[in-house]
Amino acid sequence: MHPSNTAKSIVLAGVLAIGAGAASAAELNIYTTREPGLIQPLLDSFKASTGITVNTVFMKDGLAERVASEGESSPADILMAVDAGNLVDLVDKGVTQPVESAVLTESIPETLRDPKGNWFALSMRARVLYAAKDLDLASFNYEDLADPKWKGKICIRSGQHPYNTALFASYLAHYDAAETEKWLAAVKGNLARKAGGGDRDGAKDILGGICDIAIANSYYVGLMRSGKGGEDQVKWGEAIKVVLPTFKNGGTQVNISGAAVAKHAPNKAEAVKLLEYLVSDEAQKIYAEANFEYPVKAGAKADPIIASFGELKIDSTPLTEVVSHRKEASELVDKVGFDN
């Protein structure tokens, strides 16, 4: 093989076999726990506008451990993950580096990024209420899930799923442990069935008359109603209306997909350039259309399906504070036997 080709050679079959010195400035390497196909339209658009090729390595688990084991020779430029907790874990394990970028800090709300610049939100999903279409319900508070009027009428996935531990951690950010435990026990008492399944099962079970309301992520509604989830799921999506719940003393709970620059990124400048591109108007539009996620940049438009839910008023609690309550939230889930 010619030396110029060798310098650009990357083998992506679960192992990325290059060293930091071999990486080309015209290439970037992303390690991601998010399915690469979901972000490929963004990477293609970035290449078209900059000429920089972006290679992705998908790993379901062990992202931080992989980067740490590779050390200074790691070819990873960007680490991408879903859930704020996973991004905080990357920082805690010492595999990220801080970034100073006026574009990022001006585009992304302060509560949706690391205060020291180690990670940045790129898109959002809200934890919303699915409700039967004929239900007279225009507004809702998360606290209301404990109201006895909903006894036997609520569907939800496992309390230990990250989507729900994030919500419960947000509750802990608003209330003390005793109040949160009381609330969780009451929500469990209101369940129509054992906590479990997926978010879309909540819509399916509302259609089937098993429950009247469900807690689930916003983007699944886009997947269902658009037909991207399959023909059967169109019926599920059409059987529900979506209400954006809020805390009584706050807003709607959101979680994120986001990214960080790797500690030993061979191409830091280009990595920052990609992150800045991902919060551009063009990229935020692609995020919204491809994955039915909320843009993080103020003024960027959500997909019409998602926009139809009404104005999203994000809870003001910083995600770093929410993440600090995850362990306690998980312990309370077990303490009240939420999944039993």
Angstrom distances, CA of residue 222 to CA of 8, 180, 206, 241: 39, 31, 17, 12
Instruction: Please tell me whether residues 190 and 224 are part of one structural domain.
Output: yes
In DSSP terms, 12 is beta-bridged to 16
Residues 260, 225 share a domain: no
210 domain-assigned: yes
Alpha helices in the chain (DSSP H): 3-6, 36-50, 63-70, 84-92, 102-107, 162-174, 177-189, 199-207, 219-226, 231-238, 268-278, 281-291, 304-307, 319-324, 326-335
Amino acid at the residue 116: K
| pLDDT confidence of residue 287 | 87
In a domain, 340, yes or no: no
Give the pLDDT confidence of 280-319 residue by residue, as tens digits: 999 999 889 888 999 999 889 999 999 999 999 999 999 9
Count Cβ atoms below 10 Å from residue 271 Cβ, excluding itself. 26
323 and 218 within one domain? yes
State whether 326 and 233 are in the same domain: yes
Residues 211 and 276 both lie in one domain: no
- Both 319 and 199 in one domain: the answer is yes
Assigned domain for 307 exists: no
Low-confidence winner among 57-61, 177-181, 293-297 (lowest mean pLDDT): 57-61
Residues 38 and 166 grouped into a single domain: no
Q: What does the pLDDT average to over 47-54?
A: 94
Are residues 174 and 112 part of one domain? no
Note the pLDDT tens digit of each residue in 17-46: 333 333 445 899 999 998 888 889 899 999
- Rounded to the nearest integer, the mean pLDDT of the chain is 91
Using the predicted structure, report yes or no on whether residue 100 has a pLDDT greater than 70.
yes
Please check whether residue 298 lies inside any domain of the structure.
yes
* For range 177-189, the mean pLDDT: 98
Residues 296 and 316 in one domain: no
pLDDT number for residue 13? 33
Domain count, the chain: 2
Across 111-135, average pLDDT: 97
* Structural domain of 271: 3-124+255-302
Please tell me the distance from the alpha carbon of residue 113 to that of residue 289, in angstroms, as a whole number: 23
Pair 177, 246 in one domain: yes
Residues 329, 270 share a domain: no
Once rounded to an integer, what is the mean pLDDT over residues 168-172? 98
Residues 157, 196: Cα–Cα separation, whole Å:
4
Domain assignment present for residue 228? The answer is yes
Domain assignment present for 40: yes
Residue 182 sits in a domain whose CATH number is 3.40.190.10
What is the pairing mode between strands 213-217 and 120-132?
A: antiparallel
For residues 214 and 298, what is the distance between their CA atoms, to the nearest angstrom?
Answer: 28
Q: Is residue 316 situated within a structural domain?
A: yes
Task: Tell me the C-alpha distance between 86 and 257, whole Å.
Answer: 10
Identify the pLDDT of residue 34.
Answer: 85
Helix (H) or strand (E) holding 256: strand 254-262
With a CB cutoff of 8 Å and minimum separation 6, the contacts of 262 are 31, 67, 74, 76, 77, 78, 79, 95, 96, 97, 271
Phi and psi angles of residue 15, each rounded to the nearest 5 degrees, phi first: -130, 130
In a domain, 207, yes or no: yes
pLDDT band (50, 70, 90) for residue 1 = very low
Residues 68 and 148 placed together within one structural domain of the fold: no
pLDDT at 125: 96
